[in-house]
């Protein structure tokens, strides 16, 4: 599997393509697409400050960039 295919898989996945559509588009197996997508590091935004955060594979998805943001968000959420 070349890096070019990995980049294309990632780009198509971000555009909302399914595994099956990507495999047809790039002429690779669905298993290859699934393996590439499972290797990705999840990227999201902090619920409090909207800062970009990365979650590591195999661990819980991070929702906050720091303990301070988590405390601030929960304190404000609890008051509402």
Separation of alpha carbons 54 and 74, rounded Å: 21
The model's pTM is 0.52
Separation of alpha carbons 46 and 61, rounded Å: 11
Separation of alpha carbons 9 and 22, rounded Å: 7
Separation of alpha carbons 69 and 74, rounded Å: 9
Q: Convert the pLDDT of each residue in 3-53 to its tens digit.
A: 668 889 888 887 888 999 999 999 999 999 888 887 766 677 888 998 888
Q: Convert the pLDDT of each residue in 57-74 to its tens digit.
A: 667 778 899 999 999 999
Separation of alpha carbons 51 and 31, rounded Å: 33
| Structure token pair of residue 64 | 């906050």
Domain assignments of the chain as residue spans, ordered by start: 3-38, 42-79
Q: Is 1's pLDDT higher than 60?
A: no
pLDDT of residue 80: 59
């Amino acid at each position: 599997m070349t890096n070019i295919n990995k980049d294309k898989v990632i780009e198509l996945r971000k555009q909302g393509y399914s595994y099956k559509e990507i495999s047809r588009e790039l002429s690779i197996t669905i298993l290859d697409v699934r393996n590439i997508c499972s290797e990705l590091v999840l990227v999201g935004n902090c619920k409090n400050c909207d800062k970009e955060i990365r979650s590591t594979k195999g661990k819980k998805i991070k929702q906050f960039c720091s303990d301070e943001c988590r405390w601030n968000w929960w304190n404000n959420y609890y008051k509402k």
